[in-house]
């Protein structure tokens, strides 16, 4: 009996322990169930969130592959380049015009300085003869045509006494006084006038090279005549009808004094009476008093100006000085005009060469023969 009680007790204790174990395991099951449940919920939550955007950014338009480059914008750049180029060019032109003191537009001489333009002589190409002989060697050349119209302008430029004796001068050296004087003298002589051409540039005489035979020493020249060394045979005959020539003679130490002498004034008076036209090739104006001294005595002053060489200051100074010394400016010959450049006078030359009788090959040959 006792054994059975003991056995029953043992069974009860065992049962108790098992119940305890069961409770522990049941609690563990409960806990694991909870964990499992919450994990399951979380998984479902995550699964449901897949595919849902996490921000407020939406695709409105899909990016397409461009058919042409976005940059550079060639049309815009081209337009900008043209506008900037034109503006820059204009600005630069105004800048240069403002800061360059040389006159490049012949109209400025007439409009701003009120000196009439008597003629526009083109820059001649060398044709196997000196440009100083162009009028007789190539009568159809643009330079010869220019000389004809310049001759007319001079004839009409002032009262007859002023235009009948004139001196050619320029503000600077090498602007073409000698070339213009030679061709003008030939043009006046060719028109039947009795012309005397005087080389009064006693500092740099050059006319004798074209109007005096190299071996001809018959004329003492202007310098010797004015200094009283010799007074005979001053005028040279050079075979060109109607044209006589007085060379400058040896270069004297005191050209201004010689030109300012009464002897020179008397010579000019005599020549004016004996000839229809007295043309003096003078020295340049700047730096020397010679040109002013001559312009007092002569009827008129013709300025020779090369575009791009004559400065505004020099021209203003020249005009004032000539007027102060009672000289009369007949006008200005624009020389060495480059027909390739835009001076506004090319159109005249186009017509010159179109109408000129020396423009065809045959005519050129005939006129050359006539001239020789
Ligand atoms: N219209 C022209 N076409 C071509 N060449 C020219 C023209 N005018 C002048 N020349 C040339 O320019 C140079 C200077 O000309 P020129 O001797 O006539 O100038 P100038 O004013 O008399 O010079 P200077 O002050 O030294 O006396 C010469 O070589 C001449 O042949
Ligand atoms: Mg000269």
119-144 tens-digit pLDDT: 999 999 888 899 999 999 999 999 99
Is the pLDDT confidence value at 372 over 50?
no
pLDDT recorded at residue 353: 52
Angle between helix axes 177-190 and 142-157 (nearest 10 degrees) is 80
Pocket test for ligand 1, best of 122, 128, 147, 174 (most atoms within 8 A of CB): 174
pLDDT recorded at residue 287: 73
Q: Which residue segments constitute the domains of the chain, with CATH numbers given?
A: 106-371 (3.40.50.300)
pLDDT recorded at residue 359: 46
Average pLDDT, the chain: 88
DSSP calls for 182-238: HHHHHHHHHTT--EEEEE---SS--THHHHS-TT------HHHHHTTS--SS-SEE-
pLDDT recorded at residue 145: 93
Is the pLDDT confidence value at 341 over 80?
no
Ligand closest in space to the Cα of 310: 1
Query: Residue 79: which residues within 8 A CB-CB, separation 6 or more?
Result: none
Rounded Cα–Cα distance for residues 22 and 33 (Å): 16
Query: Residue 20: which residues within 8 A CB-CB, separation 6 or more?
Result: none
pLDDT recorded at residue 360: 47
pLDDT band at 352 (very low <50, low <70, confident <90, very high): low
For residue 100 the two structure tokens come to: 């360059």
**Cα–chain-centroid distance for residue 223?**
41
pLDDT recorded at residue 338: 82
Ligand 2 centroid vs 211 CA: distance in angstroms?
13
Give the bridge partners for 243, in sequence order: 195
Is the pLDDT confidence value at 343 over 60?
no
Indicate the SS3 state at residue 101: coil
pLDDT recorded at residue 340: 64
Ligand closest in space to the Cα of 132: 1
Ligand 1 centroid vs 180 CA: distance in angstroms?
8
Q: What is the arithmetic mean of pLDDT over 341-345?
A: 54
Report every protein residue that has its C-beta within 5 angstroms of ion ligand 2. 177-178, 201, 206
Is the pLDDT confidence value at 199 over 80?
yes
Beta sheet of 117-122, edge-to-edge order: 117-122, 329-337, 300-306, 165-169, 277-281, 195-199, 243-246, 236-237
Ligand 2 centroid vs 284 CA: distance in angstroms?
8
Is the pLDDT confidence value at 200 over 60?
yes
Rounded Cα–Cα distance for residues 159 and 310 (Å): 27
In ligand 1, which atom is closest to the CA atom of 130?
Answer: 31
Q: What is the arithmetic mean of pLDDT over 330-355?
A: 67
pLDDT over 70, % of the chain? 90
Which of residues 156 and 365 earns the better pLDDT score? Answer: 156
Burial 260-278 (b: 16+ CB within 10 A, else e): bbeebeebbeebbeebbbb
Is the pLDDT confidence value at 364 over 70?
no
Q: In the structure, which protein residues have their CB atom closer than 6 angstroms to any atom of ligand 1?
A: 121, 123-124, 131, 143, 170, 173-179, 201, 204, 206, 284, 335-336
Pocket test for ligand 1, best of 120, 134, 179 (most atoms within 8 A of CB): 179
pLDDT recorded at residue 211: 92
Closest CA to 281 of 141, 180, 149: 180
pLDDT recorded at residue 110: 93
Rounded Cα–Cα distance for residues 328 and 326 (Å): 7
Indicate which residue's Cα is closest to atom 14 of ligand 1. Answer: 174
Candidate from 17-21, 211-215, 253-257, 295-299 with smallest mean pLDDT: 211-215
Highest mean pLDDT among 43-47, 84-88, 229-233, 352-356: 84-88
Ligand closest in space to the Cα of 146: 1
pLDDT recorded at residue 51: 64
Q: Using the 8-state DSSP alphabet, how is residue 42 labeled? A: H
pLDDT recorded at residue 12: 93
pLDDT digits 0-9 by tens, 202-229: 999 999 999 988 878 888 999 999 999 9
Is the pLDDT confidence value at 370 over 50?
no
Ligand 1 centroid vs 246 CA: distance in angstroms?
19
Q: Is residue 121 a contact partner of residue 306, using CB atoms and an 8 Å limit? A: no
Which of residues 97 and 256 earns the better pLDDT score? Answer: 256
First to last CA, the chain: 180
pLDDT band at 371 (very low <50, low <70, confident <90, very high): very low
Rounded to 5°, the CA angle 80-82-88 comes to 95
pLDDT recorded at residue 212: 87
Strands 117-122 and 329-337: parallel
Rounded Cα–Cα distance for residues 194 and 191 (Å): 9
Q: What is the arithmetic mean of pLDDT over 32-53?
A: 86
């Amino acid at each position: 009996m006792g054994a059975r009680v003991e056995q029953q007790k043992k069974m009860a204790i065992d049962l108790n322990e098992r119940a305890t174990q069961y409770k522990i395991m049941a609690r563990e099951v409960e806990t694991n169930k909870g964990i499992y449940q919450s994990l399951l919920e979380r998984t479902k939550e995550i699964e449901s969130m897949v595919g849902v955007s996490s921000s407020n950014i939406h695709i409105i338009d899909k990016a397409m592959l461009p058919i042409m480059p976005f940059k550079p914008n060639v049309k815009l750049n081209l337009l900008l380049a043209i506008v900037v180029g034109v503006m820059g060019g204009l600005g630069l032109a105004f800048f240069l015009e403002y800061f360059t003191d040389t006159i490049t537009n012949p109209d400025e001489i007439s409009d701003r300085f009120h000196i009439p333009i008597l003629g526009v002589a083109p820059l001649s190409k060398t044709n196997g003869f000196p440009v100083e002989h162009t009028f007789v060697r190539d009568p159809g050349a643009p330079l010869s045509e220019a000389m004809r119209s310049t001759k007319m302008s001079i004839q009409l430029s002032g009262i007859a006494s002023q235009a009948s004796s004139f001196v050619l001068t320029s503000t600077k050296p090498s602007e073409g006084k000698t070339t213009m004087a030679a061709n003008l003298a030939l043009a006046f002589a060719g028109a039947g006038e009795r012309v005397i051409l005087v080389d009064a540039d006693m500092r740099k005489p050059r006319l004798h090279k074209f109007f005096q035979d190299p071996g001809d020493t018959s004329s003492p020249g202007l310098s010797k005549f004015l200094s009283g060394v010799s007074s005979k045979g001053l005028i040279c005959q050079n075979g060109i009808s109607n044209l006589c020539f007085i060379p400058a003679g040896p270069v004297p130490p005191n050209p201004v004094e010689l030109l300012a002498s009464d002897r020179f004034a008397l010579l000019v008076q005599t020549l004016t009476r004996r000839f229809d036209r007295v043309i003096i090739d003078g020295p340049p104006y700047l730096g020397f008093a010679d040109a002013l001294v001559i312009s007092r005595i002569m009827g008129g002053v013709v300025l020779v100006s090369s575009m791009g060489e004559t400065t505004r200051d020099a021209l203003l100074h020249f005009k004032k000085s000539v007027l102060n010394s009672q000289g009369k400016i007949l006008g200005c010959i624009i020389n060495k005009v480059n027909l390739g450049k835009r001076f506004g006078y090319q159109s005249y030359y186009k017509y010159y060469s179109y109408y000129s009788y020396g423009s065809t090959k045959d005519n050129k040959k005939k006129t050359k023969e006539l001239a020789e």
